[in-house]
Homo-oligomer: A and B are copies of this chain.
Amino acid sequence: MMNRTYNFGAGPAMLPESILKQAQEELLNWQDLGMSVLEVGHRTDEFIALLHHAERTLRELLSIPSNYHVLFLGGAVRTQFAMIPMNLIKPNQQAGYIVSGIWSKMALQEAERLKKAYCVASTEPQNYITIPEQYELSIKEDSKYIYYTPNETINGVRFPYIPKVKGIPLLADMTSCLLSEPIDVRQYDLIFAGAQKNIANSGLILVIVNEELLNQEPDPAIPTMLNYKIQADNHSLYATPPVFNCYLAAKMFDWIKEQGGIGVLYDQNCRKAAQLYQYLDSTDFYTTPVSPDARSIMNVCFSIKDKTLEETFLHSAKRRGLCALQGHRLVGGIRASLYNAMPIKGVELLIDFMTEFAKEHN
């Protein structure tokens, strides 16, 4: 059996080995039920208890106030791009989107297609290597909400601040950063995140939403499954949820607690990213286009000055067990994603490899 490799992919991403081992051990017999968690019904006492435990632990980790719902929804995170405007923008209303990368741009496009939405600021002219400054945000007073993406995975940029939005509800796509750093949930009215970075395997979306936001008559043309209020009223059990993903998420929340909480992980995440950026800044062989104050701590994007070497780089890295370092297919280059489950050891090995590779090919 091969040793565990380091998966630097932007998602699906690494999971803690201890969680995988637990899942492996109990895969045929969960909670002494004589069946797998892959088979267990979503309305059994055991699964309901699991979901409650998961929600309780998440609420504890993030200090989620009691007037916020926590939803465990099935499917892919892109469904949120439609659910948000469909649920929250009525005819003659609009919402504002801060465009700081390809994901927030796609969210805006979906909202524009389905309802009325506008761009608050965009760094597209800068190829998304900076973050708009507060003074650049053109917020219309009558906006139903302002939407932004604190961390963008494709270009590796991160908001170093929380946008001030004149008391308008602030919504955030935290798919690539939720649970990687402390946040004050009360500053947001809706947070969502796909599971496949810092939470569990792909197929689950977490939504944390202020109940006040749902206290309005939603558009009757919304598919029932896309109606937040119905999902909230049914405690995520309107339809069959992705049971196994919820099970892994529960384990992940426990794991984060065992590590000492989000603050401890945030320190580690900062250290991992700082080590890599520090190395990048120290060499001319590699280059990172991202503006220093906009650098993501989750997704470190860079390239080799001599682009023709990148394929060899990726190939050699993979042979060393440093996997999935290729940049997103829309932008190319190299990207190292450093989510919670990436050990510091992985980053150290990556830097060692990069150093050697640079020496060899300089």
Residues of A at the B interface (CB closer than 8 Å) are 1-5, 7, 9, 11-15, 17, 20-21, 23-24, 27-29, 32-36, 38-44, 73-79, 81-83, 86, 110, 113-114, 194, 196, 201-204, 220-221, 223-226, 238-245, 248, 321, 323-324, 329
When chains A and B are docked, how far (Å) is the Cα of A220 from the Cα of B112?
11
Copies in the complex: 2
Q: Which residues of B contact A33 (CB under 8 A)?
A: 2, 5, 323
Task: Give which listed residue, B75, B81, B248, contacts A75 with CB less than 8 A.
Answer: B75
Bound complex: CA of A1 vs CA of B77, how far in Å?
A: 38
List B contacts of A225 (CB < 8 A).
75-76, 78-79, 81-82
B239 and A77 contact, CB distance less than 8 A: yes
- How distant is the Cα of A204 from the Cα of B243 in the complex, in angstroms? 11
Q: Which of B14, B36, B41, B86 contacts A223 (CB 8 A)?
A: B86
Interfacial chain B residues near A17, Cβ < 8 Å: 28
Contacting residues, chain B, for A321 (C-beta < 8 A): 34
- Of chain B, the residue at the smallest CB distance from A106 is B224
Knowing A4-B28, A21-B28, A79-B225 are in contact, say whether A240-B194 is a contact too (CB < 8 A): yes
Which B residues are in CB contact (< 8 Å) with A239? 76-79
**Is there contact, CB below 8 Å, between B242 and A242?**
yes
Q: Is the CB of A223 within 8 A of B27?
A: no
Q: Of all chain B residues, which has the CB nearest A73?
A: B75
Chain B residues near A21: list those with CB within 8 A.
Answer: 28
A-B pairs with beta carbons under 8 Å apart, 19 shown: A5-B33, A7-B40, A11-B41, A12-B40, A12-B41, A23-B38, A24-B28, A34-B321, A38-B201, A44-B324, A74-B202, A75-B242, A82-B226, A113-B220, A194-B240, A196-B240, A201-B244, A202-B241, A244-B244
User: Bound complex: CA of A73 vs CA of B36, how far in Å?
Assistant: 23
B42 touches A240 (CB 8 A): no
- Take A75-B74, A75-B75, A224-B82 as given contacts and tell me if A244 and B39 are in contact as well, using a CB distance cutoff of 8 Å: no
The answer to whether B12 touches A243, judged by C-beta atoms less than 8 angstroms apart, is yes
Nearest CB in chain B to that of A2: its residue: B34
- C-alpha gap A188/B241 in the complex (Å): 28
Contact: A110 with B74, CB < 8 Å? no
- The distance from the CB of A84 to the nearest CB of chain B, in whole angstroms, is 10
Instruction: Contacts A4-B34, A35-B14 given; indicate if A202 touches B27 (C-beta within 8 A).
Output: no
Q: Which residue of B lies closest to A74 (CB)?
A: B75
Q: A117: shortest Cβ distance to chain B, in Å?
A: 14
In the assembled complex, the CB of A116 is this many whole angstroms from the nearest CB of chain B, namely 13
CA–CA, A203 and B75, complex, Å? 7
Which residues from B are CB-within-8-Å of A36?
15, 20
User: Nearest Cβ in chain B — how far from A332, in angstroms?
Assistant: 14
- Is the Cβ of B27 less than 8 Å from the Cβ of A76? no
Q: Report yes or no: A81 in contact with B224, Cβ–Cβ below 8 A.
A: yes
Nearest B residue to A79 by beta-carbon distance? Answer: B225
Contact yes or no, A39 B7, CB < 8 A: yes
B contact residues around A241 at 8 Å (CB): 76, 202-203
Q: Taking the nearest CB of chain B, how far is it from the CB of A320, in angstroms?
A: 11
Chain B residues contacting A23 (CB-CB under 8 Å) are 27, 38
Provide the bound-state CA to CA distance between A196 and B240, in Å: 9
Which residue in B34, B83, B240 is a CB contact (below 8 Å) of A5? Answer: B34
